[in-house]
Every structure is written in C-alpha cells, then in structure tokens.
Amino acid sequence: MTDYTKTKRTTLKRAHERGSYDRDAVHAILDEALICHVGFIHEGAPAVIPTAHWREGETLYIHGSSASRMIRALEDGAPACIEVTMTDGLVLARSGYHSSVNYRTVVVYGAARKITDEADKLAALKAFMEKIVPGRWDELRAPNSREMKATTVLAFPLKEVSAKIRDGGVLDDEEDMNDPVWAGVVPVHRAFGEPEPDAQLRGDIGLPDNLKNYTGPGSIPG
C-alpha cells in the first residue's frame, strides 16, 4: 500500500521526523481511539465537538443525531478537520523546555458524504458496534425505522491524512545531563474497569465472553 500523499497542510514543518503518512500507522491510531474531535466552521467561527468514530478501509465514520448542530454543519459537505489523539506518556526532561508528552495523533482533512442508502447505513452502524465490542451487534435487536431516521452517518474519505507520533524517552540538552533531577517517562494508558451490570439486568444473564478481560478496541487482549 502506498502512503497518503502529503499536502501543504499535512506536511509537518517542525519535528518532521515525527510525521507519518503510513496507512497502517494511521489506521492503528484511528482503530484504537474511542473518540475523535471534529472541527468545523459554524457561523464563521471554529467549533470542535468530540464524538465516537470508526473506520473501515479508507473511510472514517462518525454518527450523530440528525438534529445535531455538527451533523447539520457537515452533512452537506462543508470542510472538516477530524483529529484523534492517544496520550502515551509524560516526558519529564531535565528542563521544562524539553519536557513533553508522548502521543499518537491523526489529523484528517476532508468533507463528509452522508450515507443515505439504508443497507449501507446499517452496515456502517454494525461496523461501529463491532469496533467497540466484537460480536455484540448480533446480540442486540435490530434498529427500528424511527432510530434509523433519527441517526445520521457521515463518511469521510481518508485522503488528506497525517499521523504525528512522539515516543521514546527524554531528549535533554547535553549541558543539563548532570543536573540533580529525576528524568524519565511516566507511562499513560487507557484502562477499562470491571463491567458494571445494569441494576435491572435479567438475573439469568451473565457477563458475555466478549466483555471478559475487555481491553478496548485496537488493543491486544492481555
């Protein structure tokens, strides 16, 4: 697979060694993250709204209430910027200046296509649930027509895309190396707690296998 083609606005100007246009790297970040941050222009001013997202192939999806301001702003193809970030560590250098954060970020520029075909929309919603809890879609009743109507699914082609990754340890100035201060990295990660059953859950229903030792999308079961 070829890399994403750089454009002016996806080309890193500083710390360019942290940039990546590799499809696998971009996909892995998008698939692991639960939440994206959707930037759009609303009445002439920037707006950013968080929402869940999912990916299939070279398409990034979001969904929302058909009445939502974000959906209405984007469903007709207005320009958007979708950003996804996983925070991996606090980089505590020997100076404030070199202190940093380890992270993995993807930025997608593009315009949405509204999914209007009912079968395509259903398939997209299934892919969303399958990202979060594989197998769960088939355990649930199907969406009804009222729910389908109330939900808009937007698809963004992954074309103008870049990843930026900061990993590894501290990068201090040579003259600071002997300073009497601790330096290193404090790892940050996402953790999932024990699933908490609904108080009204039927007494005969136990925790399904797909929620045992749950570690979230895109991660390796541990």
CA distance 9 to 20: 13
Min CB(158)–a second copy separation in Å:
16
Considering only residues 179-218, where is the footprint of a second copy by CB under 8 A?
A: 179-202, 205-208, 211, 214, 216
- DSSP structure class, residue 15: S
CA distance 210 to 110: 34
Instruction: Out of 14, 57, 76, 221, point to the residue binding a second copy (CB under 8 A).
Output: 14
Q: Does 222 bind a second copy (CB under 8 A)?
A: no
Instruction: Out of 24, 118, 120, 139, point to the residue binding a second copy (CB under 8 A).
Output: 139
Instruction: Out of 24, 77, 97, 135, point to the residue binding a second copy (CB under 8 A).
Output: 97
Q: Does 24 bind a second copy (CB under 8 A)?
A: no
Min CB(94)–a second copy separation in Å:
7
Q: Does 169 bind a second copy (CB under 8 A)?
A: yes
Among candidate residues 21, 10, 147, 162, the one with its CA nearest the CA of residue 84 = 162
CA distance 76 to 110: 12
Min CB(201)–a second copy separation in Å:
6
Smaller CB separation from a second copy, 40 or 61: 40
Residues contacting residue 215 through CB under 8 Å, at least 6 positions apart = 192, 221, 222
Among candidate residues 79, 56, 52, 77, the one with its CA nearest the CA of residue 64 = 52
163 near 25, Cβ under 8 Å?
yes
Min CB(114)–a second copy separation in Å:
18
Query: How many residues can be counted in the chain?
Result: 222
Q: Does 9 bind a second copy (CB under 8 A)?
A: yes
Q: Does 13 bind a second copy (CB under 8 A)?
A: yes
Helix (H, G, I), strand (E, B) or coil at 72: helix
Instruction: Out of 31, 59, 83, 123, point to the residue binding a second copy (CB under 8 A).
Output: 83
Number of chain positions touching a second copy (CB under 8 A): 94
Min CB(1)–a second copy separation in Å:
26
- The separation between the first and the last C-alpha atoms of the chain, rounded to the nearest angstrom, is 30
Residue whose token pair is 């808009």: 152
Q: Choose one: 17-25, 53-61, 112-120, 130-138; the region binding a second copy (CB under 8 A).
A: 130-138
